[in-house]
């Protein structure tokens, strides 16, 4: 889907917004569901054999990951990873610390790292470096959204749901101060 086809919204009557105005709905729940189905088919075709571990980068990916794995038509395992690169700062330091390390063995498996949004790429690149040291059979990224502004991204994102506008987005796992993750669509906050 081309991001230019998003629909501006004057007012959204949704109690989940708690009165916060949105600039627009960037992606509807229906558009997201259709693209997740397509990604499931693409991933199924890409991995016809071998052990597949779908590794969700928390917290933002959890809703996307849960919908995505139900669309992948082959055996797989699911685990999660939590990484921190911010500390007390508002800008990534580039030093990645694993807050939660997957309990599943990565060696010899196809690893599909699921991310909510790719922006600077700094944390993602360092995380992929760390995961590649564990000798997976393959290591790829699936992102729901990609802003295409990543100056520090050293690895291509193999599966991309949507090109994202350079706006502050919430919903479908994306948050603002831990709020709005539960929205079934993706909105741009004012």
At 35-47, the pLDDT tens digits run 999 999 999 999 9
Q: What Rg value do the Cα atoms of the chain yield, rounded?
A: 17
Q: At 108, is the secondary structure helix, strand, or coil?
A: coil
Catalytically active residues are 119
Residue 164 inside a domain? The answer is yes
At 60-117, the pLDDT tens digits run 899 999 999 999 999 999 999 987 754 444 344 456 677 777 878 899 999 999 999 9
Query: Residue 75: which CATH number?
Result: 3.40.50.2020
Residue 113 inside a domain? The answer is yes
- The pTM of the full predicted model, rounded to 2 decimals, is 0.85
Residue 11 inside a domain? The answer is no
The boundaries of the domain holding residue 124 are 27-182
Residue 189 inside a domain? The answer is no
Give the C-alpha separation, 148 to 178, whole Å: 24
What's the total number of domains in the chain?
A: 1
Residue 127 inside a domain? The answer is yes
Higher per-residue pLDDT: 151 or 82: 82
Residue 10 inside a domain? The answer is no
């Amino acid at each position: 889907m081309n991001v230019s086809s998003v629909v501006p919204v004057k007012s959204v009557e949704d109690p989940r917004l708690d009165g916060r105005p949105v600039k627009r709905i960037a992606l509807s729940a229906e558009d997201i569901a259709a693209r997740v189905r397509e990604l499931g088919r693409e991933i199924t075709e890409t991995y016809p054999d071998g052990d597949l571990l779908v590794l969700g980068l928390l917290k933002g990916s959890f809703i996307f990951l849960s919908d995505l794995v139900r669309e992948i038509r082959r055996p797989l395992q699911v685990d999660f990873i939590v990484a921190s690169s911010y500390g007390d700062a508002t800008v990534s330091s580039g030093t990645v610390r694993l807050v939660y390390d997957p309990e599943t063995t990565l060696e010899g498996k196809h690893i599909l790292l699921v991310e909510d949004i790719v922006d600077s790429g700094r944390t993602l690149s360092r995380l992929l470096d760390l995961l590649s040291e564990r000798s997976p059979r393959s290591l790829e990224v699936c992102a729901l959204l990609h802003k295409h502004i990543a100056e520090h991204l050293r690895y291509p994102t193999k599966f991309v749901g949507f090109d994202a506008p350079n706006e502050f987005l919430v919903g479908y796992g994306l948050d603002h101060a831990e709020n709005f993750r539960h929205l079934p669509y993706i909105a741009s906050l004012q």
